[in-house]
Structure 1
Amino acid sequence: MSVLSNEKKRALAERMFINEGMSCKEISIQIDVSEQTLSRWRKGRTGEKDWDNRRAEVISAPHVIKEILLKELKLVAEGEKPNVDADALAKISKVLETVSGKVSVQVVLSVFQEFDNWMASQEPEVAVSFLEWHKRFILYKASVE
């Protein structure tokens, strides 16, 4: 991956850490960047939320909660014991939506991801052009929350 610029490596590392939940050690190996550099990037740029907070937002996004609940449903359907308390998870999610009174970053992220997947199947080239704008809007939205 040495052909990638540092900026592209940073963007890739950011996605791998926040969206894919990878550890810095795993990312370091895959994109050939030191863990020290990743630690510095992880703190975020001036005015940005750090990667840990953004990862927490992604994990609590409605589409992620839905994935967790679907996995739990499969376990129950197969006669196994669930790993999480689905009722508690649903209640917490509902309270968060109610308390905020506005569309959260998590909901925006979830909708953008659904849109991006749909757009990629329609017009892949156009879908790519939306990604940077979606990222910018999510960063803006996160900064005003």
Structure 2
Amino acid sequence: MSKRVNNEPVRAIAERMFIEDGLTAKAIADAVGVTEQTIGRWRKGIQGDISWDDKRKQYLSAPNNIKKVLMSELSDLAEGKQSKLDVKAITEVRKAMELLSDSISAHVVMAVLKEFDSWMASQDPDIAISFLEWHKLFLLHKVQQEQ
């Protein structure tokens, strides 16, 4: 009777290598000591889990990872390298996402609060001053949400 090996720890490492590091099936197979065919089976997803390809798309589209890509692009541009990204397309996608989002950006909130503060100052300067600390706290809250 052969003993069944628990490959879960190896599979989890392989999954991370594919999703977060972007390694190929061959590179992962060589690194963790399994066949490319095993990586291929794991990549499809196990027992109703989504595929590694779908998980990778989700990982890459997370806001913190998009920021990393954009910061890397800015660094390359600052060094005089050619742009690797279609900035116009990124801008259009960002605008579309904002339209679909239920959340309002901190920049928009700040602009509205500034306009409100100006209006309130003409109505009742003392009350306008009392709002300023609350507005500052709310803006800090919004900025933290966007990170």
TM-based fold match above 0.5: yes
How far is 1:25 from its partner?
0.3
Query: Structure 2 CA distance, aligned partners of 1:53 and 1:66?
Result: 20
Task: Pick closer, same or farther for the CA change 1:74–1:55 going to 2, 3 Å.
Answer: same
The corresponding residue for 2:131 is none
Whichever residue aligns with residue 92 of structure 2, its letter is K
Count of residues paired in the alignment: 99
Shift of 1:96: 3.6
1:49 maps to 2:20: no
In the superposition, relative to structure 1, how do residues 97 and 47 fare at CA in structure 2: closer, same or farther (>3 Å)? Answer: farther
RMSD of aligned alpha carbons: 2.2
Residues 17 and 27, structure 1, Cα contact 8 Å, conserved in 2? yes
| Letter in structure 2 aligned against 1:7 | E
Aligned-residue offset at 1:97: 5.7
* TM-score with structure 2 setting the length: 0.59
Q: Which runs of 4+ in 1 moved over 4 A?
A: none
5+ residue gaps, structure 1, are 103-145
1:134-145 matched pairs, under 5 angstroms: none
The answer on 1:26 being equivalent to 2:17 is no
Q: Deviations over 1:40-96 (max 9, x none)?
A: 111112221111111111111111211111111112222332111224224314534
Displacement, 1:22? 0.8
Q: Using the aligned pairs only, state the percent identity.
A: 42
Larger Rg over CA atoms? 2
User: Normalization by structure 1: what TM-score?
Assistant: 0.60
What CA distance in whole angstroms lies between the structure 2 residues aligned with 1:48 and 1:72?
A: 33
Higher relative contact order (CA 8 A, sep 6+): 1
Distance in 2 separating the partners of 1:38 and 1:94: 38
- Find the counterpart in structure 2 of residue 8 from structure 1: 9
